[in-house]
Structure 1
Amino acid sequence: MYIEESYYFWRLAADLIVNHDYEILQMLEDKHEVWLEQRIKGKTNVVRLSHKMFDWSNQLKQDQTVLDENIKRVLKVVGGRQVHVHNVYIAKYPPVDDWNEWKDTRSLPGRKKGTVQTFYIDEQSRELEINQLYRSLQLKEKNFPAPSEFEMEQMVEYLKQSIRNNHTKKQQQREQVFFYGKPLFTYVLIVINLLLFGWLEYQGGSTNTYTLIQYGAKYNPAIIDGEWWRIVFSMFLHIGFFHIMLNMLALYVLGTAVERMFGSIRFIVIYFIGGIIGGLASFAFTPNVAAGASGAIYGLFGALLFFGTVYKTLFFRTIGTNVIIILILNIVFSIMVPQVDNGAHLGGLVGGFLASSLVHFPNKREVGKQLVSFLLIIALTIGLGWYGYNHDSNHYDARLQADVATNYIQQNKFQKAIDLTTTALNHTNSEQSSLYFVRGNGYVQLNKYDLAKEDYLQAIKLDPNFVEAHQNLSVLYYNVEQNETKALEHAKRVLELDSDNKEMKEFIQSVEENG
């Protein structure tokens, strides 16, 4: 290899790396080849510098075939909507036969958007080709001096060392980004979640709706009554073994990564802001009882997306693609499965992103953006809380309130069951039969039989096949009003709907024998 070509090879590489912030994708010193990358606003410039000698154009053609295979591999690690590859040969002489067709700009292999352009820097066209390359890279034209051969030899080693120093410095900066802090609160949060899950199981079961409400799950009617603490406390409760295991695995993977990048204090701020905004979004848009760290965990996803906006190249070269794919899969899964609390997930994602922008990375400050993020967090918190509080019709699911009221009756809290079902009836327009039925049961326990009868009849009016309502009404007619005709009418209706109902068979037989 000629020292002059070697000098310009390393001079170009060093200038792009040191002075224009190009990243090294690959450096093969033994093959005299370097691949560089720079990403700007969705466009990625890739520069392949190759110090080779081609005697004939068919040799150049063979290298272009190898180039295309290498480009396909490079495209897997570089990002951007458009990728433009600048293939730069540095040689003393061009091929002796016709080779200019290879300098034509062509489409990127395997991509609709993107180009491959070849530059051939030889002894005769050196200044022209370098200037064309720099114009193509949207850089100011460069005029490299031509020192003596002795100076070139010395400069080559200096340029190589400059590139190595620059590469080492950037590696250290990357390590500082990924390993600023040590995970601490992540492990504390996992332990707290596991302990509270065990406590729920001991107290009545983590899948028992009444137990969840009793110990702090997100329950909208209670929040409307002033129990806003549930928004935070519900982040530490989980519904079932699969739920706790899945969330704790996600918290371990995402939490350790985010806590290392942001530090423990910033991490805990991101976690809680994501969880709180997720909880408020769930309160505003989802009537179901809810619990879990999902909103906070999506907040950690938001932190990783914020990382991608600050360190774009590093993000896509390391964790970016995996984060985006996992996030998309989670969102699709959330949309497809009706039980998933999408409000908490999306609210947590937005909250985590804004919280990350607020606290920012260590040693970085963007006061204007941080102030905007703070104002948006306040606006979201107040807005979601206000919307949820003033749209209380969204908070009453008939079946859920009926289940909760039934639990109250089992706990001998009869008036509380009646009050809950009455409130729910005022805020629901569908599936009200179960509410009337449960309220009727509450009235029976308080010996208010006329009110109970009205509710059972209303339940049957809404659902003529409501077996339990017919059964309770039959017993009420017989025991309270001594109306055997009505009692038998509803008892026989029960058997029409449930022919295996042993209790009603015995009841009918007893009434007919006594009659």
Structure 2
Amino acid sequence: MVLARVDALTPTPDDLMRFGANNAEAVLGGHEWFRILSAMFVHVGIVHLGLNMWCLWNLGVIGEPLLGVLGMFSVYLLTGAAGNLLSVAVNFYTGASGEVGAGASGAVFGIAGVLIVLFSNKRLSEPRPGFRGIPLEDLRAIRRSVIQFAVLNLVIGLSTNVGPLMRGIHMADVHIDNMAHIGGFTSGLAIAVPLVPRMTSGRERYLTRQKMTFAGAALAMALFGYFLSHLQ
């Protein structure tokens, strides 16, 4: 975007749309479904990008050992897409189809949701071949910190909106898409549940469960998108 001479601090809604931001009218009316994915790579300026990258870095440091590189990337895409889908649906049905949303925060909340569930598995404290185990106190501390991060940021996003909570808002020129946050977070919680029983069952069984879970999540979102496209 910067190479295309877009303002690095305050890109306009038109700039964001040109580079793939999310928008219910474009997705449902213009059939531009690619925005469900592309929007999570578009940010409202360099500050917005920096904050999301900082969050992803911190969550990634503790999440990658449990999910792997491909697992983390899959969770990023799936939960980010789920958040954007919910945003499109809610904006469409509340008459806010013109809202423009962008950023990785839906995926950030999604990863947080996944980690909250995964770190509830007390068997991670048990050493086994190739894995030292995580002390139970550390498991609880990490999970507690992720919960605090998610709750605090959800509360900040919701409390800044004195109007209808279902709509994105603007505060200090920053678009807060509450539905993308909620959609990402809840989808992260849901995706992680089937993974827990296989986390300590051996690498191959765990990877197989990951693939099945991620494929099921992708199918569920595709069906939800299909349902949305036929309810206009």
Match of 2:109 in 1: 298
CA distance in structure 1 between the aligned counterparts of 2:6 and 2:209, rounded to whole angstroms: 49
Q: Is 1:352 matched with 2:155?
A: no
Cα 1:391–1:207 shift into 2, 3 Å:
farther
Match of 1:203 in 2: 6
3-state DSSP of counterpart to 1:318:
helix
Cα 1:318–1:218 shift into 2, 3 Å:
same
CA distance in structure 2 between the aligned counterparts of 1:237 and 1:376, rounded to whole angstroms: 23
Deviation of the 1:259 alpha carbon? 1.3
| Cα displacement string for residues 170-223 of structure 1 (whole angstroms, at most 9, x for unaligned residues) | xxxxxxxxxxxxxxxxxxxxxxxxxx5x346x2356530111111111122221
Q: Is 1:246 matched with 2:57?
A: no
Percent identity between the two aligned chains: 28
Say which of 150, 154, 165 aligns to 1:331. 154
Match of 2:84, as an amino acid? G
CA distance in structure 2 between the aligned counterparts of 1:213 and 1:270, rounded to whole angstroms: 24
Match of 1:319 in 2: 142
The answer (yes or no) to whether the contact 2:23–2:101 under 8 Å persists in 1 is yes
Cα 1:199–1:353 shift into 2, 3 Å:
farther
The answer (yes or no) to whether the contact 1:354–1:377 under 8 Å persists in 2 is no
Deviation of the 1:295 alpha carbon? 1.1
Cα 1:236–1:314 shift into 2, 3 Å:
same
CA distance in structure 1 between the aligned counterparts of 2:217 and 2:226, rounded to whole angstroms: 15
3-state DSSP of counterpart to 1:216:
coil
Deviation of the 1:352 alpha carbon? 2.5
Match of 1:257, as an amino acid? I
CA distance in structure 2 between the aligned counterparts of 1:273 and 1:305, rounded to whole angstroms: 17
| Cα displacement string for residues 2-47 of structure 1 (whole angstroms, at most 9, x for unaligned residues) | xxxxxxxxxxxxxxxxxxxxxxxxxxxxxxxxxxxxxxxxxxxxxx
The answer (yes or no) to whether the contact 1:285–1:343 under 8 Å persists in 2 is yes
Say which of 379, 382, 395 aligns to 2:223. 382
Of the structure 1 ranges 225-234 and 257-266, higher mean CA displacement relative to structure 2 is found in: 257-266
Deviation of the 1:353 alpha carbon? 3.0
CA distance in structure 2 between the aligned counterparts of 1:350 and 1:314, rounded to whole angstroms: 26
Structure 1: segments with no counterpart, 5+ residues: 1-195, 393-515
The answer (yes or no) to whether the contact 1:282–1:341 under 8 Å persists in 2 is yes
CA distance in structure 2 between the aligned counterparts of 1:296 and 1:264, rounded to whole angstroms: 15
Deviation of the 1:294 alpha carbon? 0.7
The answer (yes or no) to whether the contact 2:195–2:210 under 8 Å persists in 1 is no
3-state DSSP of counterpart to 2:185:
helix
Larger relative contact order (CA 8 Å, sep ≥ 6)? 2
Deviation of the 1:377 alpha carbon? 5.1
Match of 1:343, as an amino acid? M
The answer (yes or no) to whether the contact 1:307–1:315 under 8 Å persists in 2 is no
The answer (yes or no) to whether the contact 1:250–1:297 under 8 Å persists in 2 is yes
3-state DSSP of counterpart to 2:47:
helix
CA distance in structure 1 between the aligned counterparts of 2:215 and 2:120, rounded to whole angstroms: 18
The answer (yes or no) to whether the contact 1:238–1:291 under 8 Å persists in 2 is yes
CA distance in structure 2 between the aligned counterparts of 1:263 and 1:368, rounded to whole angstroms: 13
Of the structure 1 ranges 361-370 and 255-264, higher mean CA displacement relative to structure 2 is found in: 361-370
The answer (yes or no) to whether the contact 2:42–2:102 under 8 Å persists in 1 is yes
The answer (yes or no) to whether the contact 2:119–2:142 under 8 Å persists in 1 is no
How large is the Cα RMSD of the aligned pairs?
2.9
Say which of 214, 236, 258 aligns to 2:41. 236
Cα 1:314–1:350 shift into 2, 3 Å:
farther
Which is richer in strand? 1
Match of 1:164 in 2: none
Deviation of the 1:285 alpha carbon? 1.1
Deviation of the 1:273 alpha carbon? 0.8
The answer (yes or no) to whether the contact 2:75–2:111 under 8 Å persists in 1 is yes
Cα 1:357–1:317 shift into 2, 3 Å:
closer
| Cα displacement string for residues 381-400 of structure 1 (whole angstroms, at most 9, x for unaligned residues) | 422x24543455xxxxxxxx
Q: Is 1:219 matched with 2:30?
A: no
Cα 1:274–1:307 shift into 2, 3 Å:
same
CA distance in structure 1 between the aligned counterparts of 2:152 and 2:230, rounded to whole angstroms: 33
The answer (yes or no) to whether the contact 2:20–2:39 under 8 Å persists in 1 is yes
| Cα displacement string for residues 37-64 of structure 1 (whole angstroms, at most 9, x for unaligned residues) | xxxxxxxxxxxxxxxxxxxxxxxxxxxx
| Cα displacement string for residues 412-457 of structure 1 (whole angstroms, at most 9, x for unaligned residues) | xxxxxxxxxxxxxxxxxxxxxxxxxxxxxxxxxxxxxxxxxxxxxx
CA distance in structure 2 between the aligned counterparts of 1:244 and 1:368, rounded to whole angstroms: 32
Match of 1:203, as an amino acid? V
Displaced runs of 4 or more, over 6 A: 366-370
Match of 1:305, as an amino acid? I
Deviation of the 1:349 alpha carbon? 1.4
Match of 1:53 in 2: none
Cα 1:390–1:342 shift into 2, 3 Å:
farther
Cα 1:228–1:305 shift into 2, 3 Å:
same
Deviation of the 1:257 alpha carbon? 1.8
Superposed, 1:96-115 pairs within 5 Å as none
CA distance in structure 1 between the aligned counterparts of 2:20 and 2:37, rounded to whole angstroms: 9
Match of 2:172 in 1: none
The answer (yes or no) to whether the contact 2:117–2:193 under 8 Å persists in 1 is yes
Match of 1:66 in 2: none
Structure label with greater radius of gyration:
1
